[in-house]
Amino acid sequence: MKFFFPDSQDQIDPGFDFATEEHPALRVRQRDDLYAHEALDGHVIDGLLVSRAIVDGTASGAGKYTAAQRNRMYRVGVRHFFRLDQAPGPPIQTMGDCGAFSYIQEDEPPVTPDQVIDFYAECGFDLGISVDHVIFGFDPAADTDPQHSQGKQWRYRQQITLDLAAKFLARCKDRKVRFEPLGVAQGWSPASYAAAVRSLQEIGYTRIALGGMVPLKTGEILACLREISAARDPGTQLHLLGVTRRSNIAEFTSYGVTSFDSTSAFRQAFKDDKDNYHTADRTYTAIRVPQVDGLPRLKRQILAGQVDQGTAVQRERACLRALQEYNAGEASIRQVMDALQRYNEITGLKGCEESCRDILANVPWKSCPCSICTKVGINVVLFRGSERNKRRGFHNLYVFRQRLDRELDARSVV
């Protein structure tokens, strides 16, 4: 089971100074900043999923790459761009997709098979996913109800996806591409997914990505996989697009799933309200110490003269100092909590007392062997700025890998 990590140009600066909160004067992002597979020691990801919409941008401007980054990606290729060959562990595979979420609102995909083939071939991907159109909805009733409110649109999107998959594969053959093409199955029910997989196999695909399953419940995903397995040729491999369900991953293998991609462990570090810092058996809430100038409401209050900027900055620094002292065994939890409380009177943050006490009392970062926690200590559990938040995301990836391996091992033992 291969784990692909979707790229969103998430990097950390190894030279960032947590005491002064400054980057080195001579930092060159492209050269110095590290991707997850570089910042973490050992084998964490099996593959990188890169979306054309993120690299090339879209009409609505969804791209994450600067023009210089994009040019560099095309010039040196995906392996060199991400320095994949220097990463520890088995070779990291590269998979490209067209970024169907960026045009989910449109009637038809705004990209042609040849345009995505250009992207995959020029950047030198190992695997390339055909152009698809996401069906956002799940209702098996649409299989038999001709009056179903969404049924017509769902069928239309599935047909477009299959037509484009046929064109994509034909063009891949004409152009003698070196990457392995994947077809995409979109559906709204177990039967419709199975029908899409059957059609894709008839077109000639032996590797199929299952799209649109992100919002589905685990039971619905399993129902689809069961139905698909009746249609699946023994040699056909499945990829789950954007589906995590770590505790079910081992079970998915029995249905022919050989790879999946997910950002959720990484993103929970700074997107989730509670589950920010993961460990082998539980999650913790990170300690919020926002920057004074990072809170729009506080900034407005300072400008309006309602809050004294000097006091705000002083209290913010007192929190950081107390946390560092606690980490060094020179302050008590009580002292840290007092500092946080004084700062929160200004920031207005509420309801974090219990979760702060919990993570401080358990010091989970002290027992984590990952290269992030061992290097930056307590900073990894502070919810504050991209350097700390992304490090916590990388730590979560490390934990995700450990848990995934444990579950896969347990499965093969049984």
Binding site for Zn ion (CB under 5 A): 368, 370, 373, 395
Residue 272 CB, shortest distance to Zn ion, in Å, is 17
Among the options 261, 273, 275, 338, which is catalytic?
Answer: 261
Residues 290, 295, 297, CA angle at the centre, nearest 5°?
140
Dmax (CA) of the chain: 70
Would you call 139 a catalytic residue per the annotation?
no
Residue with smaller CB distance to Zn ion, 44 or 95: 44
Residue 279 CB, shortest distance to Zn ion, in Å, is 8
Residue 83 CB, shortest distance to Zn ion, in Å, is 22
Tokens 């980054």 belong to 69
**Closest by alpha carbon to 103, among 134, 66, 129?**
134
Side chain identity at 136, as an amino acid letter? F
Residue with smaller CB distance to Zn ion, 41 or 338: 41
Residue with smaller CB distance to Zn ion, 207 or 278: 278
Residues 10, 13, 16, CA angle at the centre, nearest 5°?
140
- Bridge partners, residue 128, by sequence: 96, 181
Residue with smaller CB distance to Zn ion, 315 or 395: 395
Residue 38 CB, shortest distance to Zn ion, in Å, is 16
Phi and psi at residue 7, in whole multiples of 5°?
-75, 135
Would you call 261 a catalytic residue per the annotation?
yes
Asked whether 187 and 134 are in contact (CB, 8 A), the reply is no
Q: Give the separation between CA 322 and CA 333, rounded to whole angstroms.
A: 9
Among the options 97, 118, 272, 293, which is catalytic?
Answer: 97
Residue 162 CB, shortest distance to Zn ion, in Å, is 44
Residues 246, 253, 191, CA angle at the centre, nearest 5°?
100
**Closest by alpha carbon to 103, among 122, 119, 116, 121?**
116
Neighbours of 377 (CB within 10 A): 17
Residue with smaller CB distance to Zn ion, 302 or 397: 397
Side chain identity at 323, as an amino acid letter? L
User: Among all residues, which ones are annotated catalytic?
Assistant: 97, 261
